[in-house]
Chains A and B, each alone.
Chain A
Amino acid sequence: MAKNPAVGATGDQSSWRELFAKEDWWAVWIGLGLVIVAAILFANGASLKWIAVTPQKWSTLDQVGKQFADNALRYLALFALWLVLLGIAVRTLGFRLAEFVPAFVVVFIVSALIYALGAWDQASRYNLEPPLVALVLGLLVSNLLRLPAWLQSGLRVEFYVKTGIVLLGAGFPFVLILWAGPVAIGQAAIVSLVTFGVIYFTAVKLGLDRRLAAVLGTGGAVCGVSGSIAVAGAVGAKKEDAPIAITLVIFWAIVMIFLLPFVSKALGLPTGVAGAWIGTSEFADAAGLAAAQTYSGFAGQGGITGTPEASVQAFTLMKVIGRDVWIGVWALVLSIIATTRWESNGVTRRADPGEIWRRFPKFVIGFLIASVLVSLAAKGLSYDAYKKTVTPELVAPLQGLRNWAFTFCFLSIGLTTRLRDLATAGAKPFYAFTAGVIVNVILGYILSTIVFVDFWQKLGQPAP
Chain B
Amino acid sequence: MNLSAATQRSPAARSCAACSHFRSDPRELEASIPGLRSFGSGYASVRADDGLCTVHDRYLSAASFCASFAERPGVTAQNQRNAS
**Chain A: residues with CB nearer than 8 A to chain B?**
1, 3-4, 6-8, 10-11, 13-14, 18, 21-25, 93-95, 152, 155-159, 223-230, 232-234, 236-239, 241-243, 246-247, 249-250, 253, 283-287, 327-328, 335, 345-350, 352, 355, 358-363, 413, 416-417, 421-423
Q: Choose among B24, B35, B49, B63 the residue that contacts A225 (Cβ–Cβ < 8 A).
A: B35
What distance in Å separates the Cβ of A45 from its nearest Cβ neighbour in chain B? 37
**Other A-B pairs beyond A158-B41, A243-B34, A348-B64, 18, CB < 8 Å:** A21-B43, A24-B45, A25-B45, A152-B37, A157-B37, A158-B44, A225-B36, A230-B48, A232-B59, A233-B47, A233-B50, A238-B58, A239-B52, A345-B56, A346-B66, A358-B45, A362-B45, A416-B37
- CB of B50 within 8 A of CB of A8, answer no
Task: Using CB atoms, name the residue of chain B closest to A23.
Answer: B43
- CB of A8 within 8 A of CB of B38, answer no
Q: Choose among B40, B45, B57, B72 the residue that contacts A246 (Cβ–Cβ < 8 A).
A: B40
Most chain B CB within a 10 A radius of its CB, from A234, A253, A285? A234
- CB of B38 within 8 A of CB of A225, answer yes
- CB of B48 within 8 A of CB of A416, answer no
Please give, as numbers and ranges, the residues of chain A lying within 8 Å of B33 by CB-CB distance: 229, 242-243, 246
Docked CA distance A242–B82 (Å):
34
Task: Using CB atoms, name the residue of chain A closest to B66.
Answer: A347
Chain B contact-residue range equals 35 or more
B60 at the A interface (CB under 8 A): yes
**Chain B: residues with CB nearer than 8 A to chain A?**
11-12, 17-18, 24-27, 33-41, 43-53, 56-61, 63-66, 72, 74-75, 78-79, 82
Known: A346-B66, A348-B65. A4 touches B25 (CB 8 A): yes
- CB of B41 within 8 A of CB of A94, answer no
- CB of A250 within 8 A of CB of B38, answer yes
- CB of B45 within 8 A of CB of A349, answer no
Known: A348-B65, A422-B35. A229 touches B58 (CB 8 A): no
- CB of B66 within 8 A of CB of A246, answer no
Please give, as numbers and ranges, the residues of chain A lying within 8 Å of B35 by CB-CB distance: 225, 243, 246-247, 249-250, 417, 421-423
Interface of A (DSSP majority class): helix
Please give, as numbers and ranges, the residues of chain B lying within 8 Å of A6 by CB-CB distance: 49
- CB of B39 within 8 A of CB of A286, answer yes
What distance in Å separates the Cβ of A4 from its nearest Cβ neighbour in chain B? 5
Docked CA distance A292–B36 (Å):
22
- CB of B39 within 8 A of CB of A239, answer no
Known: A93-B43, A229-B46. A7 touches B59 (CB 8 A): no
A-B contact pairs, 5 of them (CB 8 A): A11-B12, A228-B40, A238-B57, A243-B33, A249-B35
- CB of B41 within 8 A of CB of A157, answer yes
Most chain A CB within a 10 A radius of its CB, from B34, B41, B45? B45
- CB of A226 within 8 A of CB of B44, answer yes
Known: A8-B75, A10-B79. A23 touches B41 (CB 8 A): yes
8 A-B pairs closest in CB distance: A233-B50, A225-B40, A158-B41, A284-B39, A246-B35, A24-B45, A349-B64, A23-B43
Docked CA distance A187–B59 (Å):
31
